[in-house]
Amino acid sequence: MSLSRRDFLKFCGGTAAGISISQMFIPEIVEALEKAATTRPAVLWLQGAGCSGCSVSLLNATHPKIADVLLKIIDVRYHPTIMAACGELALSAIDNTTKEGKYIVVLEGGIPIGANGKFCVVGEKKGKEITIANLFAETASKATAVLAIGTCAAFGGIQAANPNPTKTAGAVEFLKMEGIKTPVINIPGCPPHPDWQVGTIAHVLLYGIPELDSKNRPKIFYGRLLHDHCPYRGFFDDDTFCKDFNDKEGCRYGLGCKGPDAFCDAWKRRWNGGANWCVQGATCIACVEPKFWDEYAPFYE
C-alpha cells in the first residue's frame, strides 16, 4: 500500500479523478489506516461545557463507517457518551492511559474557568470533585496532541457568547493560560462535519499534524471561503436574491446567509451523506468561525 500524502490530500479535498466527495475515504485509505494503526493510538475523549452534538455528528461518518473508526482505527479508552463504564471505574481508564503515555486528547466542549471551574464538574474521585478544567489540564499536558473538536472546544462556543456568564475558554486560550505547550488542532463547526473529524484524525495517524491556518484549523477542510465556491454564487454576481425561504432561485445573502464569512468546504462535501447542506436548504451561520454567535448574529438579516 503506497498512498502518498499528496494523494491523501487529494482524496480529502475530493479532487482526485473519479472519486466522489462523499467517498473521501476509499478502501485503500481505510486499509492504510488499519495498517498504521497496528498500534492503535489511545484516545481520551473528554466533554466539557457542550451538548455532545460533535459526538453525534461523528457517529454520522460514512467512509469509513463509524464502527470501523471506533473498533479498528482508534483505541477509545474514554468517551462519556459511548463507553460502558461509569464513575471511578470509568475514570480509572484515564489514569491507566496517562500512565502508559503516547495518547491523544480529544476535547469536545469549552472550559469554563469562572467559579473555579465548578460550572462544569465531570466526575468525582475519593470524594473530591473533578472539573473539566482540572481534567483537561492534567491530561493535555502529557498528550501527544490535542484535537479541539467543535467550536466550543476550539473557541469557547455558545456558552462563551456575550456576556460569557461562565467565563468559558477554548482549548488554545486555556492551555496558554496554564502554560501547557501541547500542540492543538482546531476542528470547529457547530457541529463539525464527520469527515473533518475523521479526516483530521486520519492525517495525524498517517502523516502527523496537517498544515493549519492562522486559527489552527486544517487547511484541507477549512482552507477556502465558502462564498467563493458557492453554487449560488452566480446569482450573487447577477444581483438575484431570494425573496424568502420559499424562493430557491437566487442567492441566500438577503436571507442572512453568512457564506461570505465562512471558511469551510460544506459547498462540496454537503451534510448527512449528501442529503442536503446549509446554503442549499436554508442559510449559513458561519459556525466554523471563532465567536460566530456574536460576530455573525443576527443570523436572519
Partner 1 sequence: MAGRRAKTKKIVIDPVNRIEGHLKVEVEVSGGKVVDAHCSTGLFRGFEIILKGRDPRDASQITQRICGVCPTSHGTASVYCLDNAFGVKPTTNGRIVRNLILAGDHIWDHILHFYHLVALDYVKGPGVPPFVPRYEGNGIYKLPPEVNDFAVKGYLQALEIRRIGHEMMAIFGVRGPHVHGLVVGGATVVPTTDAIVGYLWRLKEVEKFYDEVYLPTVYTVAKYYPEGFNFGTGCKNFLSYGVYPLNDDHTEFLLKPGVYTEGEDKLFDPEKITEYVKYSFYDNRVTGLNPKNGKTPVANPEKKGAYSFTKAPRYDGKPHEVGPLARMWVANPILSKHASEFLGKTGEVRMRDFGERAFSVLGRLVARAEEGWLEVQAAKKWITELKPGAPVYVKADVPETGMGYGCTEAPRGSVGHWISIKDKKIAHYQVIAPTTWNVSPRDDAGTPGPIEQALIGTPVPDTKNPVNVVRVIRSFDP
| Residue 177 contacts partner 1 per CB under 8 A | no
What is d(CA 41, CA 206) in angstroms, rounded to the nearest whole number? 11
| Residue 99 contacts partner 1 per CB under 8 A | no
Q: Say whether 106 sits in a helix, a strand or coil.
A: strand
If the CB atoms of residues 32 and 122 are measured against partner 1, the closer one turns out to be 122
Q: Contact, 263 vs 301, CB < 8 A?
A: no
Residue among 15, 20, 27, 82 that touches partner 1 (CB under 8 A): 82
Q: To the nearest whole angstrom, how small is the minimum distance from the Cβ of residue 53 to partner 1?
A: 2
What is d(CA 183, CA 145) in angstroms, rounded to the nearest whole number? 5
Q: To the nearest whole angstrom, how small is the minimum distance from the Cβ of residue 84 to partner 1?
A: 4
Which residue in this structure is represented by grid cell 467550536?
A: 151
Strand partners, 147: 106, 185
| Residue 98 contacts partner 1 per CB under 8 A | no
Total of residues contacting partner 1 (CB under 8 A): 81
Touching partner 1, residues 39-58 (CB under 8 A):
47, 49-57
Q: To the nearest whole angstrom, how small is the minimum distance from the Cβ of residue 7 to partner 1?
A: 27
Touching partner 1, residues 242-301 (CB under 8 A):
244-246, 248, 271-273, 275-278, 280-283, 285, 287, 293, 297-301
What is d(CA 118, CA 149) in angstroms, rounded to the nearest whole number? 22
Q: Is 267 exposed, middle or buried (0-12, 13-18, 19+ CB in 10 A)?
A: buried
Q: To the nearest whole angstrom, how small is the minimum distance from the Cβ of residue 220 to partner 1?
A: 20
